Amino acid sequence: MSVYLDNAASTVLVPQALAAMSDAWSRPGNPMSLHDAGRRARRLLEESRETIARCTGARPSEVIFTAGGTESDNLAVKGIYRARRAQDERRRRLVISAVEHHAVLDPAQWLADHEDAELVILPVDAHGRVDPEDLRAELAEHADEVALISVMWVNNEVGCLQPIAELAAAAREHGVPMHSDAVAAVGHVPVEFAASGLSALTLAAHKFGGPQGVGALVLGRDVAAQPLQHGGGHERDLRSGTQDVAGAAGMAAALQRAVDHRDEDTAAVTAVRDRLLAVLDTLDGVTVNSGPEGLPGVVHASFDSCEGDSLLMLLDAKGVQCSTGSACTAGVASASHVLLAMGLDRAAARGSLRFSIGPDNTVADIDHVAAVLPEAVGRARAAGLMGVR
């Protein structure tokens, strides 16, 4: 039996997305061409843009297609920072949370290393949440120097939801643009761009049943940004290059399906999550790190005296596929910066696994986990003790 519990890394392509992409692939046409095939491709691209805008509470003109979450985050962080810095040289401060995905953390650090940005890291509590008072204190003292704030909507490792509305309100009060990496949120929790008060928001199709390699940056019309690449002036002159029409169609179809079925999907995922938590509760030396108010599809746990990578491979050999955290850092022999920021020690951080549940998972899947997990944990602990000796 094979049980896939790594939906936070990538989800199964839903039939609606596959059908939309197959139809688009069957028709030729560059959406920038003026002939009939081009106009047809353009129509499909714009219809997809409208669907994504409707599902995220944005205007179609605010949706910029990209190759995925990482590109969208880079465009937001570097693009907005550079535009703000060009307007006012004093604006060097770049404020992010301590638990950002590397797609935000790394470009922010790059700007600090290469473009004189001053990186400000907001701490988080034991559940991974930013305290809005910390942001208000930063803005009260340095609002005229802040170029951009970026705080993720939902953490991809432990599933905690950030107080986005409060954070964005503080940013708006001081006239500072705020971006949110909402890759783990869109399709899973209600996301309304206009109501949020954000200036920019990132999403990626493969996190909600769409294809890999396509995403979008939702960018307010009044928010200045500089492009990362130049060419034909596509996507508001911010992302030049022929658009992936089939990918856009697949993303739109998957997002519409996710929004339409969100309540029933959440109920199904919650039932499976509760069964998994019950299984973990039967084991000694297991601490659940994901909070009760987090994304129901993410269960993150630390296993005493275990190496996460060893436990991961032992479970994989028994047909259970999960992760030690973000897929982008898989195989990296270091403790998660997210868990360390939450206050876990390095041993607990390295002995952790993330089980991420999708609508296709069943209680029977978790029964299989229950059958194989105790032995895997025992073997991982025995291997850890042998390593200590």
Distance CA 171, CA 267 (A): 34
282, amino acid identity: T
Strand 352-356 vs strand 63-66: parallel, antiparallel, or unpaired? Answer: unpaired
Q: How far apart are CA 230 and CA 239, in angstroms?
A: 7
At which residue do the structure tokens 């390699």 appear? Answer: 213
CA distance 129 to 117: 24
| Closest CA relative to residue 345, chosen from 295, 290, 287, 275 | 287
At 259 the three-state DSSP class reads helix
Coil, helix or strand at residue 304: coil
Q: How far apart are the first and last CA of the chain?
A: 35
**Active-site residue, 322 included:** no
- Catalytic pick from 55, 160, 322, 328? 328
One-letter amino acid at 177 equals P
Residues designated catalytic: 328
